[in-house]
Structure 1
Amino acid sequence: MKVEFDMRYPVRLKESEEGYAVWCPSLPGCWSQGETKEEALENIKDAIQIYFETLEEVDRDAESLYVEVS
């Protein structure tokens, strides 16, 4: 059974020549963009959702291990 709940993630927004770039620093590689600030913020919501769906898919049937780093 999949449990769903709302989470808030900090995002960074930067205006560029093409519009706005937006990314979620706590989720490596989770970036998006939009022509307007509002569009960029809506797009990053979709990107975050897809990020977690992809993690869930990749993680399925994966072996979990621990490594020690000094």
Structure 2
Amino acid sequence: MSNLKYQMVIQWSEEDNCFLVGFPDFPGQRWRTHGDTYELAVTNGIEALESLIIAYEAAGDALPEPTVCNAA
């Protein structure tokens, strides 16, 4: 998918004992998926982001603008 240009936040949760994954550019719930390892959180995050984009497109909703980092 070429429009995976959205930031993905991965943060350890002591309470949940796993890594939580969120997409700050998309409104709604703060955390979208999780993983027991960082690698699994990345994999699950990519799948969740792809599904989120498909859901927006299926509903005819415009995708939010991705946050862009202008690093030199």
Query: Which TM-score band (shorter chain)?
Result: 0.5 to 0.7
| Match runs of 1:18-37 below 5 Å | 18-29=17-28, 31-37=32-38
Q: 1:28 to 1:7 in 2, by over 3 A?
A: same
Identity of aligned residues (%): 25
Q: 1:57 to 1:6 in 2, by over 3 A?
A: closer
| Match runs of 1:13-52 below 5 Å | 13-17=10-14, 18-29=17-28, 31-52=32-53
Count of residue pairs brought into register by the alignment: 57
Tell me the TM-score normalized by structure 2.
0.65
In the alignment, residue 56 of structure 1 is paired with which amino acid?
Answer: E
Q: For the aligned residues, what is the CA RMSD?
A: 2.0
Give distance in 2, aligned partners of 1:10 and 1:19: 19
In the alignment, residue 51 of structure 2 is paired with which amino acid?
Answer: I
Unaligned runs of 5+ in 1: 61-70
